[in-house]
């Protein structure tokens, strides 16, 4: 004998009055009439199309990368001349310092020669050899002391524009007798 079964009540189906609602349309890579482009193209922002033109972004993240590269290029274009000028100033300053050291060494060597009793022509030649051909030496003697003053203009690719003249001096007590 069959047993009675209880059935669940079902909700009534809604009725649509008036014209029937249009069916939803499907767009994108799986739209009717288009072939399925495969799993790798699903979910792409460009609908599966590949833009391979000059400078075009292939994926959505590449566009921001290209814009960042452009901004880096602009920053380098602004900063590079500043770096070149700073490098030129650094090299010019080092050249001036080296010239000053050469002048001081030439003045000391000239004063030593005079204290030993060498002639002024020999002192001039020593100063020219150590400080460069553009250097000039002036010898001043008085009250048992001798001073050699050396002057020279700084020559170089960056410092010629500044027209810098450096000087150094060295003094020593004259020696008498041998």
* pTM for this entry: 0.56
Helix, strand or coil, per DSSP, at residue 145:
strand
- Asked if pLDDT for residue 15 goes beyond 80, the answer is no
Confidence grade of residue 162 (pLDDT, cut at 50, 70, 90): confident
| pLDDT of res. 156 | 78
- List pLDDT tens digits, range 77-104: 889 999 999 998 899 889 999 999 999 9
> HEC string of 74-116?
HHHHHHHHHHHHHHHHHHHHHHHHHHHHHHHHHHHHHHHHHHC
- Asked if pLDDT for residue 17 goes beyond 80, the answer is no
- List pLDDT tens digits, range 27-81: 555 555 555 555 555 555 655 555 555 445 455 556 666 666 677 788 888 899 9
* Segment among 70-74, 126-130, 144-148 with least mean pLDDT: 70-74
| pLDDT of res. 43 | 57
- Asked if pLDDT for residue 167 goes beyond 70, the answer is yes
Q: Is residue 149 within 8 Å of 169, Cβ to Cβ?
A: yes
Q: Could you give the percent of the chain with pLDDT greater than 70?
A: 60
| pLDDT of res. 60 | 52
Residue 139 burial by Cβ neighbours in a 10 Å radius (0-12, 13-18, 19+): middle
Query: Hey, what are 16's tokens?
Result: 């649509």
Residue 137 burial by Cβ neighbours in a 10 Å radius (0-12, 13-18, 19+): buried
Q: Is residue 137 within 8 Å of 169, Cβ to Cβ?
A: no
């Amino acid at each position: 004998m069959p047993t009675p079964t209880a059935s669940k009540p079902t909700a009534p189906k809604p009725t649509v009055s008036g014209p029937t609602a249009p069916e939803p349309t499907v767009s994108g890579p799986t739209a009717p009439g288009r072939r399925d482009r495969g799993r790798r193209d699903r979910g792409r922002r460009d609908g599966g199309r590949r833009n391979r033109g000059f400078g075009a972004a292939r994926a959505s993240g590449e566009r921001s990368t290209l814009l960042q590269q452009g901004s880096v290029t602009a920053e380098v274009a602004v900063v590079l001349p500043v770096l070149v000028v700073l490098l030129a100033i650094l090299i010019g300053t080092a050249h001036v310092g080296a010239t000053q050291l050469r002048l001081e060494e030439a003045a000391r060597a000239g004063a030593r020669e005079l204290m030993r009793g060498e002639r002024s022509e020999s002192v001039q030649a020593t100063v020219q050899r150590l400080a460069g051909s553009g250097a000039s030496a002036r010898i001043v003697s008085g009250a048992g002391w001798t001073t050699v003053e050396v002057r020279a203009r700084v020559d170089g690719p960056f410092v010629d524009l500044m027209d810098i003249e450096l000087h150094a001096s060295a003094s020593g007590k004259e020696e008498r007798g041998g």
